[in-house]
């Protein structure tokens, strides 16, 4: 009897253990993608200069902050994203995320100060919470392939004045327009590949003794013959270079494939291409162009990468590996099919059109066997799908920036080998985001007292959340920069000074389809009076919300207002004025993109399915 009881107990124990094991196995692997963090270490310490920055009465800390004016004329924030980055990492810890991918532009400009600050934060979250970071390069880190002198003219100085900080006397002399004496520190120099690799090598750029597998485009061993010590020999820059045309200079390439745990592969592509300005072989950073174009230049200058990528996708399939492919740049058009209209309306050099990947890029990645790619660079939330005539396709998941609207990251949950779930996590609240507001008030007073033109709007300091703060940032950068630089004068004249109702009247005079428009009003339960509550400038602001945040921007605008915008855009499409027609078309296309909030990808069919439909 005792034996029977013992056997039954053992069976019950084994079944219970098996159930627990299944529950643990059923937990999806979580991977977060935080792109374009652009960390500026506002609490960093200069190693060769006693200057500490400004003492903030609110925090009691010395702060190396940039001016509000400068960040409201930029496509990204410089200061508050420091707090946003830490808030995002804390959120990842709470969500029990295992891997954190930073697909480039993890620093402001690759300065010593900021790379040190980033390294400190990554080490802290690695040691305290066990987060595993995997990085690749962006066009801001490094800005050029070799060490470059640098700095900024627009740090916040005493009394709200601007303070220049540069890495040498020459740059200080060139930028000596401030009342305050220029600060000189080598910590403002922009690191090249060597400095980036030296500081951040432990975050994927080289293997450790627990790494299952690691390779680069230049390694000679195979998966079967992999040895850790041999792999270490290939981690130096000397064994990670290619000859770039037309100079044939040796330029580093930090691309790598890593298997941190069994059957999970991360392919980190260094898609930076620094085209030489001439044929001279030199390490002078000023002899090379920026890498911000992305994959269009990879096709002409780093073709070997595509062959390497193709070999990896084939091997991943043969060996049964789950492959995660990422880089800094997009591989599919991110304008929801509106690229041609954007070029016609704004010009081929406006609205960052030079950064849009060509169809040849998309085709090359499909032919290389890549099914899903995670990219950054554009500071927008988007999902793009590229297809060939034979039915083969690729999905490009565009990761937003934490330093701009909409501040968010992508969370990948691997449900199975063939099912990816992607969620966009928005940072609504960030503790300490308003810490620097007292310093900004000093700046505003100085600008006002000195009759400076185009001053930023003080209402941004009344925001109560980080997300609302980024909305104000977008609104101000539209006012202070985009409208001035990108928009045709006649279109601005028509749009900005007119209510929605006035735009209807203009469209009617210009032979718009008013019959179809009024039918749309009836179908959508809209009233003409609705169009009197907003003007063309409001529509332009919301145009950028949709451009930057996709469906999440539409959610912030609200369904009722969106119905009005879409009805008007359809009317604009039918007018005789080309600029209004193009604007209406672009607005409609931006508003009807692929799922970009919470969706699932079937890796077998490469099919997208919306999980949380906000439309």
φ, ψ at 573 (rounded to 5°): -60, -25
Residue 2 lies in a domain: no
**pLDDT reading at 3 higher than 70:** no
Residue 356 lies in a domain: yes
Residue 178: which residues within 8 A CB-CB, separation 6 or more? Answer: 153, 157, 161, 162, 163, 164
Distance CA 480, CA 406 (A): 19
Structure tokens, 562? 């969106």
Structure tokens, 565? 């915008």
State whether 32 and 97 are in the same domain.
yes
Dihedral angle of Cα 475, 477, 482, 484, to the nearest 10 degrees:
100
Q: What is the pLDDT of residues 321-342, one digit of tens each?
A: 999 999 999 999 999 999 999 9
Q: What percent of the chain has pLDDT above 90?
A: 91
**pLDDT reading at 18 higher than 90:** no
**pLDDT reading at 16 higher than 90:** no
Distance CA 300, CA 26 (A): 44
Residue 170 lies in a domain: no
**pLDDT reading at 233 higher than 50:** yes
Question: Using the 8-state DSSP alphabet, how is residue 390 labeled?
Answer: T
Q: What is the pLDDT of residues 347-378, one digit of tens each?
A: 998 988 999 999 999 999 999 999 999 999 99
Q: What is the CATH number of the domain that holds 276?
A: 3.60.21.10
pLDDT for the residue numbered 614 = 64
Q: Which of 21-25, 370-374, 395-399, 500-504 bottoms out in mean pLDDT, i.e. has the lowest?
A: 21-25
Distance CA 600, CA 422 (A): 6
Query: What mean pLDDT comes out for the span 286-292?
Result: 95
State whether 232 and 100 are in the same domain.
yes
Q: How many CA atoms lie within 13 A of 82 on its CB side?
A: 23
Structure tokens, 35? 């792109």
Q: What is the pLDDT of residues 70-114, one digit of tens each?
A: 999 999 999 999 999 999 999 999 999 999 999 999 999 999 999
Residue 444 lies in a domain: no
State whether 421 and 534 are in the same domain.
no
**pLDDT reading at 7 higher than 50:** no
Cβ density class 530-557: b for 16+ within 10 Å, e for less? bbeebbbbbbbbbbbbbbbbbbbbbbbb
pLDDT for the residue numbered 25 = 52
State whether 484 and 582 are in the same domain.
yes
Quote the mean pLDDT of the chain. Answer: 94
Closest CA to 373 of 268, 521, 261, 217: 268
Instruction: Provide the domain count of the chain.
Output: 2
Residue 376 lies in a domain: yes
**CB–CB of 364/306 below 8 Å?**
yes
Q: What 3-state DSSP class applies to 79?
A: coil
Handedness of CA 98, 102, 107, 112 (dihedral sign): positive
Distance CA 38, CA 44 (A): 15
Q: Which of 16-30, 121-135, 508-522 bottoms out in mean pLDDT, i.e. has the lowest?
A: 16-30
Q: What is the pLDDT of residues 178-231, one digit of tens each?
A: 779 999 999 999 999 999 999 999 999 999 999 999 999 999 999 999 999 999
State whether 548 and 410 are in the same domain.
no
The conformational region for residue 165 under phi > 0 = left, psi -120 to 50 = alpha, else beta, is beta
Closest CA to 34 of 473, 412, 421, 599: 412
State whether 100 and 197 are in the same domain.
yes
State whether 422 and 476 are in the same domain.
no
pLDDT for the residue numbered 531 = 97
Distance CA 470, CA 72 (A): 10
Dihedral angle of Cα 573, 575, 580, 581, to the nearest 10 degrees:
40
**CB–CB of 136/97 below 8 Å?**
no
pLDDT for the residue numbered 177 = 72
Question: Using the 8-state DSSP alphabet, how is residue 205 labeled?
Answer: I
Q: What is the pLDDT of residues 453-467, one digit of tens each?
A: 999 999 999 999 999
pLDDT for the residue numbered 258 = 99
Q: Can you give the length of the chain in residues?
A: 615
State whether 511 and 567 are in the same domain.
yes
Residue 159 lies in a domain: no
Closest CA to 114 of 46, 182, 203: 46
Cα distances from 387 to residues 164, 366, 382, 602, in angstroms, run 49, 8, 17, 16
Residue 29 lies in a domain: yes
Q: Could you tell me the pLDDT band of residue 417, with boundaries at 50, 70 and 90?
A: confident
Cα distances from 367 to residues 296, 334, 370, 577, in angstroms, run 16, 20, 8, 41
State whether 471 and 548 are in the same domain.
yes
In DSSP terms, 386 is beta-bridged to 394
Dihedral angle of Cα 78, 79, 84, 89, to the nearest 10 degrees:
90
Q: What stretch of H or E contains 197?
A: helix 193-200
The β-bridge relationship of strands 408-416 and 29-33 is: antiparallel
φ, ψ at 185 (rounded to 5°): -155, 135
State whether 413 and 487 are in the same domain.
no
pLDDT for the residue numbered 416 = 86
260 Cα distance to chain centroid: 24
Distance CA 91, CA 107 (A): 20
Rg (CA), the chain: 26
pLDDT for the residue numbered 175 = 84
Residue 70 lies in a domain: no
Residue 481 belongs to what domain range? Answer: 465-590
Distance CA 393, CA 120 (A): 40
State whether 275 and 413 are in the same domain.
yes
Distance CA 525, CA 532 (A): 16
State whether 478 and 395 are in the same domain.
no
pLDDT for the residue numbered 176 = 74
Q: What 3-state DSSP class applies to 274?
A: coil
Distance CA 336, CA 534 (A): 26
């Amino acid at each position: 009897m005792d034996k029977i009881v013992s056997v039954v107990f053992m069976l019950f124990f084994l079944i219970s253990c098996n159930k627990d094991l299944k529950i643990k196995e059923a937990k999806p692997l979580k991977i977060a993608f935080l792109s374009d963090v652009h960390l500026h270490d506002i609490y960093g310490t200069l190693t060769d200069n006693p200057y500490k920055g400004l003492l903030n009465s609110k925090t009691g800390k010395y702060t190396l902050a940039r001016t509000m004016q400068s960040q409201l004329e930029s496509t990204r924030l410089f200061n508050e994203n420091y707090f946003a980055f830490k808030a995002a990492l804390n959120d990842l810890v709470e969500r029990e995320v295992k891997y954190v991918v930073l697909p480039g532009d993890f620093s402001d400009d690759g300065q010593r100060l900021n790379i040190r600050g980033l390294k400190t934060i990554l080490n802290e979250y690695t040691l305290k919470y066990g987060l595993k970071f995997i990085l690749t390069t962006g066009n801001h880190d490094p800005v050029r392939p070799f060490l470059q002198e640098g700095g900024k003219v627009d740090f916040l100085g005493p009394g709200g004045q601007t303070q220049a900080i540069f890495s040498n006397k020459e740059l200080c002399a060139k930028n000596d327009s401030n009342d305050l004496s220029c600060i000189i520190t080598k910590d403002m120099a922009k690191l090249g590949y060597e400095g980036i690799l030296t500081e951040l090598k432990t975050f994927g750029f080289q293997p450790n003794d627990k790494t299952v597998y690691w390779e680069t485009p230049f390694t000679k061993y195979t998966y079967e013959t992999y040895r850790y010590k041999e792999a270490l020999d290939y981690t130096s820059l000397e064994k990670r270079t290619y000859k770039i045309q037309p100079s044939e200079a040796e330029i580093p390439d930090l691309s790598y494939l890593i298997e941190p745990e069994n059957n999970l592969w991360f392919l980190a592509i260094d898609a930076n291409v620094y085209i030489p300005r001439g044929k001279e072989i030199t390490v002078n950073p000023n002899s090379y162009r920026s890498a911000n174009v992305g994959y269009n230049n990879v096709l002409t200058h780093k073709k070997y990468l595509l062959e390497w990528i193709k070999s990896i996708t084939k091997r991943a399939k043969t060996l049964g590996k789950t492959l995660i492919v990422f880089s800094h740049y997009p591989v599919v058009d991110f304008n929801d099919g509106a690229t041609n209209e954007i070029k016609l309306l704004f010009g081929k050099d406006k609205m960052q059109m030079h950064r849009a990947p060509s169809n040849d890029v998309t085709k090359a990645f499909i032919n290389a066997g890549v099914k899903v790619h995670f990219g950054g660079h554009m500071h927008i939330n988007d999902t793009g799908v590229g297809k060939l005539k034979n039915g083969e396709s690729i999905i490009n998941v565009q990761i937003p920036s934490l330093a701009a609207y909409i501040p968010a990251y992508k969370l990948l949950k691997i449900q199975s080998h063939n099912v990816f779930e992607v969620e966009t996590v928005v940072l609504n609240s960030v503790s300490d985001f308003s810490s620097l507001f007292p310093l900004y008030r000093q700046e505003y007073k100085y600008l006002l007292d000195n009759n400076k033109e185009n001053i930023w709007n003080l209402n941004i300091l009344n925001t109560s959340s980080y997300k609302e703060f980024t909305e104000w940032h977008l609104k101000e950068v539209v006012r202070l920069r985009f409208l001035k630089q990108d928009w045709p004068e006649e279109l601005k004249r028509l749009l900005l000074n007119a209510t929605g109702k006035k735009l209807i009247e203009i469209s009617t005079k210009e032979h718009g389809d008013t019959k179809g428009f009024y039918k749309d009003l009836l179908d959508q339960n809209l009233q003409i009076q609705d169009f009197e509550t907003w003007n063309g400038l409001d529509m332009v602001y919301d145009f950028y919300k949709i451009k930057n945040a996709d469906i999440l921007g539409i959610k912030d605008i609200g369904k009722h207002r969106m119905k009005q915008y879409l009805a008007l855009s359809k009317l604009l499409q039918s007018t005789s004025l080309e600029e209004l027609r193009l604007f209406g078309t672009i607005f409609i296309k931006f508003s009807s993109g692929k799922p970009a909030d919470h969706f699932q990808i079937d890796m077998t069919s490469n099919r997208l399915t919306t999980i949380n439909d906000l439309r």
